Structure formats: structure tokens, C-alpha cells
């Protein structure tokens, strides 16, 4: 403050500056305070708020600072004696904030499968009640720097937005993004802003993403593309079934000796109708994917061939994958000749274990003695 003019003013405020605290606390009576349009100047002392000056040029007297005057037991004409107070200028214009969130939500309203959901966008706000805003702010942060205030508002919004977003499923957010955004803005978030002296003017979610599915779509288009298509259509049941298929096939692929045939045993559970899935799950209870893949039943082989043809028709596997897996299933269906485990002595007709050198009954040599080496 200049000794000549005794002028207190928030000069050169930036476009994104929300508030500014006058750096000196020794204030003299008679000083001039200039409050610009879309601003308020608030006098504080020891964390308490006293008087508020509206836009205009004010001379500090007991008349326009009645609350602070009573606090210091001053009266009009008390001279140039300074008093200690903090003057905070608050901008009342509209501001734009950016947000980015990462939370877990249900895949769809009919499933309990959780998945990661990322979102980003903008929100517009302004300070509707500067006294209430500073009261809330004083209890939350120690300093009134621009960065502290900006971080406080952004963190406050992010926390509220994540809480509300978690109430919706991934398919709802992706297919009804505008509707979900309006609901979040109109309900809890707007009310919470109001309770802190803020007005949430608008909210726009510019984009959402599902990292797990996008990664799957990139790494394995065979399943990732139809999975993302199901999610975008809002068909969470189909999406969930596809997820189970992919997870089953990945798990089986990591098991030694399972291969593509073992993975097929999981497909009826994923793509069949609900009664079919229940029947398969009941028969498969307590059995590993490898045991299911090695089931010798002819009906099982036929079911697997039918299922293989169906997922080919739906475009979930390539023709090459179909031909390769079909060949393996057909090979399994071929009858296996019985394994020979015994031999007959040509002299006495006794039955001996395969590989016996001398007959245990008559002593005749049945095969040559192995030659020693070395």
C-alpha cells in the first residue's frame, strides 16, 4: 500500500485467479479499498470473517466496517492507528476446471463383475457465496495461495464425481454418457457445491475408457472387438459371457497340455443359454478344464464340434483356427486300438507280462536277452 494514496486493490488479476490475499496485515483507517466488478473484499481476523465490501471504492471507516470495529472496540474518528486484519479478494466470475478420474464400477447393471473406468472432462463453477466459501476454505487449507485453492476445488469435485460415478455401470456410462453427466450434476455434486458457497454451472464428461477391454481389443481383436461392440450396445450379459470365455481360455492356455481343445470346454458355459450353462456347470462341478477337455464321451466331442461351428459363424475365431481345432477333435474321436500288455508262451501257452525273457512256467526263452554295452 502506498503511503501517499493508501490504496488497497487487487491489480492485474489473472483469468484463472480465484482469490487473492492482500500481503500486509497492518491496515490503517482511512485507507481506500478498490473492489472491481465481479469481486468481493472480505475482512478476516484469526480465521473469523467480519465485513464484506461490494464492488466500488471504499474508505475504511467504522461505518463500512461495523463488525470489525466492534471486534476491536474502535469508534469512528479513531485516527490513523493501524489494526491487524487479512483482506481477501474473491472473484465471482465463472471458472473452468478440468478433471480426470479412475475408479472401479460394475460392468453392467445385471452383473457383479467389476472393471476399471477412467474418465476426463471439464466442469464450470463460480463462487456464489464468498463468505460461506471462505469459511469452508479456512477449515480445509492453511494458506490462501492460488494453487492451494485450485487444488482444493479440483480434489473436492473429483471425490464427489467418483462417488457418484461408482453408482452407475460401465455399460450405462458408455451408452448414456450425456444422461449420466446430467444426473450427476443435478443431484449430489451440485448440492455439495452449494453447501460450500459454490455453484456448479455445468459439467461435461469428454471421454471415458475401459483400460482392460481396450487392452484386450488391441492384443486379441478376435475377442476384443466383439466385446467392445457388446459393451457399446449396452449388452452387459453378452459382454460378461465374452469376458468369461477369454479368461477361461487364457487360464487354460497357461496349463501344460491343455491347448485349444481345453479352451473349448469353457465355451458352452459362456455362450449357451442360461439352462444350458447351468447343466454344464452342474456336470463340470469339481473338475478341472484339463479333465473336461479329455472327456472321451462321443456326445461331448459332438457338442464341441457344434460349439466350434457356432463361434466360427459368429466371427469369434478364424477359419484356420476352426480347421485346426476340428481336426484335433476328429482325431480324438477315432477308436484307439487296445493296448497289448501280455504275451503267450509258444511252448506251454502260459500268459506272461509283455517283455518277459523266460517263461515262468516251462522256462523256455521267449525273447533275446538284451546285449550289454560298454
Distances (CA, A) of 307 to 22, 33, 267, 271: 75, 81, 7, 9
Q: Are 42 and 90 in contact (CB under 8 A)?
A: yes
What is the pLDDT, as a whole number, of residue 295? 45
| pLDDT tens-digit readout, 326-361 | 888 888 777 766 666 778 888 878 787 776 666 666
Residue closest to 201 by CA, chosen among 186, 179, 180: 186
Checking if the pLDDT of 229 tops 60, the result is yes
Q: Based on the domain organization, do 54 and 145 belong to the same domain?
A: no
Its domain, for residue 300, covers 213-333
Residues 15-42, mean pLDDT to the nearest whole number = 89
Of 168, 188, 209, at which residue does a domain stop?
209
Q: Based on the domain organization, do 217 and 202 belong to the same domain?
A: no
In a domain, 374, yes or no: no
What is the pLDDT, as a whole number, of residue 231? 67
Q: Are 100 and 123 in contact (CB under 8 A)?
A: no
Checking if the pLDDT of 243 tops 60, the result is yes
Residues 6+ apart with CB under 8 A from 278: none
Q: Based on the domain organization, do 218 and 296 belong to the same domain?
A: yes
In a domain, 100, yes or no: no
Checking if the pLDDT of 201 tops 50, the result is yes
Q: Are 128 and 199 in contact (CB under 8 A)?
A: yes
pLDDT band at 140 (very low <50, low <70, confident <90, very high): low
Residue closest to 151 by CA, chosen among 139, 130, 137: 137
What is the pLDDT, as a whole number, of residue 56? 93
Q: Are 117 and 208 in contact (CB under 8 A)?
A: yes
Distance CA 48, CA 371 (A): 105
Distance CA 109, CA 105 (A): 10
What is the pLDDT, as a whole number, of residue 283? 40
Longest CA–CA span in the chain (Å) reads 140
Q: Based on the domain organization, do 220 and 323 belong to the same domain?
A: yes
Considering only 176-190, 192-206, 312-326, which range has the smallest mean pLDDT?
312-326
What is the pLDDT, as a whole number, of residue 288? 37
Q: Based on the domain organization, do 217 and 327 belong to the same domain?
A: yes
Q: Based on the domain organization, do 218 and 205 belong to the same domain?
A: no
Distance CA 240, CA 196 (A): 41
Joined grid coordinates for residue 24: 500486509
- Terminal C-alpha separation, the chain: 108
Considering only 76-90, 129-143, 241-255, 288-302, which range has the smallest mean pLDDT?
288-302
Checking if the pLDDT of 3 tops 70, the result is no
Q: Based on the domain organization, do 117 and 204 belong to the same domain?
A: yes
Q: Are 228 and 221 in contact (CB under 8 A)?
A: no
Considering only 240-254, 297-311, 316-330, which range has the smallest mean pLDDT?
240-254
In a domain, 131, yes or no: yes
In a domain, 1, yes or no: no
What is the pLDDT, as a whole number, of residue 271? 38
Q: Are 97 and 154 in contact (CB under 8 A)?
A: yes
In a domain, 198, yes or no: yes
In a domain, 191, yes or no: yes
How crowded is residue 108: how many other Cβ atoms within 10 Å of its Cβ? 22
Q: Based on the domain organization, do 37 and 131 belong to the same domain?
A: no
pLDDT band at 236 (very low <50, low <70, confident <90, very high): low
Considering only 127-136, 160-169, 339-348, which range has the smallest mean pLDDT?
339-348
| pLDDT tens-digit readout, 80-94 | 467 788 899 999 999
Q: Based on the domain organization, do 62 and 79 belong to the same domain?
A: yes
Joined grid coordinates for residue 356: 518277459
Residues 41-48, mean pLDDT to the nearest whole number = 83
Joined grid coordinates for residue 4: 501517499
Split into its structural domains, the chain has a count of: 4
Q: Based on the domain organization, do 228 and 278 belong to the same domain?
A: yes
What is the pLDDT, as a whole number, of residue 54? 92
pLDDT band at 169 (very low <50, low <70, confident <90, very high): confident
What is the pLDDT, as a whole number, of residue 128? 93
Q: Based on the domain organization, do 18 and 70 belong to the same domain?
A: yes
- Of residues 309 and 249, which shows the higher confidence score? 309
What is the pLDDT, as a whole number, of residue 281? 38
pLDDT band at 279 (very low <50, low <70, confident <90, very high): very low
Q: Are 42 and 131 in contact (CB under 8 A)?
A: yes
Distances (CA, A) of 292 to 265, 280, 316, 322: 6, 10, 22, 19
Q: Based on the domain organization, do 182 and 233 belong to the same domain?
A: no
Report the CATH number at residue 169.
Answer: 3.30.479.30
Checking if the pLDDT of 20 tops 60, the result is yes
Amino acid at each position: 500500500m502506498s503511503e501517499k494514496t493508501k490504496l488497497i486493490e487487487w491489480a492485474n488479476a489473472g483469468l484463472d485467479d480465484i482469490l487473492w490475499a492482500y500481503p500486509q496485515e497492518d491496515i490503517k483507517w482511512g485507507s481506500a479499498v478498490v473492489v472491481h466488478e465481479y469481486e468481493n473484499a472480505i475482512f478476516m481476523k484469526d480465521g473469523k470473517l467480519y465485513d464484506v465490501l461490494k464492488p466500488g471504492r471504499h474508505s475504511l471507516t467504522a461505518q463500512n466496517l461495523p463488525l470489525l470495529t466492534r471486534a476491536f472496540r474502535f469508534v469512528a474518528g479513531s485516527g490513523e492507528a493501524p489494526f491487524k486484519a487479512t483482506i481477501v479478494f474473491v472473484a465471482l466470475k465463472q471458472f473452468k476446471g478440468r478433471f480426470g478420474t479412475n475408479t472401479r464400477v460394475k460392468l453392467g447393471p445385471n452383473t457383479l463383475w467389476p472393471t476399471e473406468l477412467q474418465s476426463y472432462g471439464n466442469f464450470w463453477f463460480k463462487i456464489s457465496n464468498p463468505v460461506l466459501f471462505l469459511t469452508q476454505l479456512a477449515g480445509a487449507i492453511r494458506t490462501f495461495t492460488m494453487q492451494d485453492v485450485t487444488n482444493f476445488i479440483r480434489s473436492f469435485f473429483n471425490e464427489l464425481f467418483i462417488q457418484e460415478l461408482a453408482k452407475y455401470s460401465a455399460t450405462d456410462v458408455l451408452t448414456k454418457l450425456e444422461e449420466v453427466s446430467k444426473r450427476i450434476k443435478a443431484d449430489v455434486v451440485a448440492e455439495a457445491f452449494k453447501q460450500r458457497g459454490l455453484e456448479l454451472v455445468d459439467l461435461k464428461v469428454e471421454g471415458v475408457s475401459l483400460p482392460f477391454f481396450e487392452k484386450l481389443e488391441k492384443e486379441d481383436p478376435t475377442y476384443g472387438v466383439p466385446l467392445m461392440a457388446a459393451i457399446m450396445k449396452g449388452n452387459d450379459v453378452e459382454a460378461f459371457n465374452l469376458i468369461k470365455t477369454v479368461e477361461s481360455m487364457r487360464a487354460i492356455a497357461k496349463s501344460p497340455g491343455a491347448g485349444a481343445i481345453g479352451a473349448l470346454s469353457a465355451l458352452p458355459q459362456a455362450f449357451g443359454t442360461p439352462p444350458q450353462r447351468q447343466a454344464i456347470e452342474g456336470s463340470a462341478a469339481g473338475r478341472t478344464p484339463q479333465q473336461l477337455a479329455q472327456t472321451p464321451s462321443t456326445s461331448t466331442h459332438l457338442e464341441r464340434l457344434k460349439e466350434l461351428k457356432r463361434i466360427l459363424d459368429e466371427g469369434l475365431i478364424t477359419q484356420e483356427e476352426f480347421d485346426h481345432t476340428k481336426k484335433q477333435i476328429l482325431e480324438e474321436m477315432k477308436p484307439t486300438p487296445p493296448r497289448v500288455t501280455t504275451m503267450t508262451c509258444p511252448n506251454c501257452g502260459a500268459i506272461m507280462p509283455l517283455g518277459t525273457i523266460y517263461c515262468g512256467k516251462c522256462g523256455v526263452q521267449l525273447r533275446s536277452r538284451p546285449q550289454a554295452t560298454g
